[in-house]
Amino acid sequence: MTLTAPTTTIRCPATALVCRNCGAEYPLTPIHACAACFGPLEVDYDQALLASVSREQIESGPTNLWRYVGFLPVGQVPESRISLNPGLTPLIAAPCLAAELGMNSVWVKDDSANPTHSFKDRVVSMAATAANGFGFRRLACASTGNLANSVAAHAARAGWESTVFIPSDLEPGKIVQTAVYGGRLVAVEGSYDDVNRLTSELQETDEFEDTAFVNQNVRPYYAEGSKTVGYELAEQLGWRIPAQVVIPVASGSLLTKVDKAFRELVAAGLVENTPWKIFGAQSSGCPPIATAFAEGADVVRPVKPTGIAKSLNIGNPADGPYALDAIRRTGGSIVHVGDAEIVEGIRILARTAGVFGETAGGVTVACLQKLLADGALDPAGETVILNTGDGLKTLDPVAEVVGPTVTIKPSLRSAREAGLLD
Ligand X SMILES: *Cc1c(COP(=O)(O)O)cnc(C)c1O
What are the φ/ψ torsions at residue 18 (nearest 5 degrees)? -130, 140
Adjacency order of strands within the sheet including 106-110: 91-93, 106-110, 383-387, 244-248, 277-283, 334-337
Indicate whether 19 belongs to the interface with Zn ion (CB under 5 A). Answer: yes
With CB under 5 to 8 Å by kind, the binding choice for 34 among Zn ion, ligand X, none is Zn ion
With CB under 5 to 8 Å by kind, the binding choice for 248 among Zn ion, ligand X, none is ligand X
Name the one range near Zn ion by CB under 5 A: 5-13, 19-27, 280-288, 332-340: 19-27
Question: Which one, of 126, 129, 158, 124, lies nearest residue 141 by Cα?
Answer: 124
State the Cα torsion 103-108-109-114 to the nearest 10°.
170
Contacts 24+ apart (CB under 8 A), 340-348: 341/366, 341/369, 341/370, 342/283, 342/307, 342/308, 342/309, 342/366, 342/397, 343/308, 343/397, 343/398, 343/400, 343/401, 345/369, 346/391, 346/397, 346/398, 347/398, 347/401, 347/402, 348/97, 348/100
DSSP conformation class of 392: G
Minimum distance, C-beta of residue 10 to ligand X, in the bound complex (Å): 26
Whether 84 and 121 have beta carbons less than 8 Å apart is answered as: yes
Strand partners, 43: 17
Nearer to ligand X, 268 or 327 (CB): 327
| CA atoms of 287 and 248, how far apart (whole Å) | 11
Nearer to Zn ion, 41 or 188 (CB): 41
Does residue 269 come out as left (phi exceeding 0), alpha (psi in the -120 to 50 range) or beta? left
Nearer to ligand X, 218 or 360 (CB): 360
Among residue numbers 332 through 351, which ones bind Zn ion (CB under 5 A)?
none
Give the pairing type, strands 14-19 and 41-45. antiparallel
Minimum distance, C-beta of residue 252 to ligand X, in the bound complex (Å): 5
Q: Looking at this protein, which amino acid is placed at residue 35?
A: A
Indicate whether 36 belongs to the interface with Zn ion (CB under 5 A). Answer: yes
Adjacency order of strands within the sheet including 41-45: 25-26, 14-19, 41-45
Indicate whether 52 belongs to the interface with Zn ion (CB under 5 A). Answer: no
Nearer to ligand X, 234 or 318 (CB): 318
What is the binding site for ligand X (CB under 6 A)? 118, 120, 146, 248-254, 311-312, 358, 360, 388-389
Minimum distance, C-beta of residue 135 to Zn ion, in the bound complex (Å): 26
Indicate whether 90 belongs to the interface with Zn ion (CB under 5 A). Answer: no
Minimum distance, C-beta of residue 242 to ligand X, in the bound complex (Å): 18
Indicate whether 380 belongs to the interface with Zn ion (CB under 5 A). Answer: no
Minimum distance, C-beta of residue 87 to ligand X, in the bound complex (Å): 16
Give the pairing type, strands 138-142 and 212-213. parallel
Minimum distance, C-beta of residue 410 to ligand X, in the bound complex (Å): 40
With CB under 5 to 8 Å by kind, the binding choice for 39 among ligand X, Zn ion, none is Zn ion
Residue of 22, 99, 401, 402 interacting with Zn ion (CB under 5 A): 22
Beta strand ranges found along 259-319 (DSSP E) = 277-283
Minimum distance, C-beta of residue 220 to Zn ion, in the bound complex (Å): 13
With CB under 5 to 8 Å by kind, the binding choice for 251 among ligand X, Zn ion, none is ligand X
With CB under 5 to 8 Å by kind, the binding choice for 250 among Zn ion, ligand X, none is ligand X
Indicate whether 381 belongs to the interface with Zn ion (CB under 5 A). Answer: no
Minimum distance, C-beta of residue 249 to ligand X, in the bound complex (Å): 5
Nearer to ligand X, 183 or 362 (CB): 362
Question: Which one, of 370, 401, 365, 383, lies nearest residue 277 by Cα?
Answer: 383
| CA atoms of 142 and 145, how far apart (whole Å) | 9
Residue of 37, 340, 406, 412 interacting with Zn ion (CB under 5 A): 37
Nearer to Zn ion, 40 or 288 (CB): 40
Q: Site residues (CB under 5 A) for Zn ion?
A: 19, 21-22, 24, 34, 36-37, 39
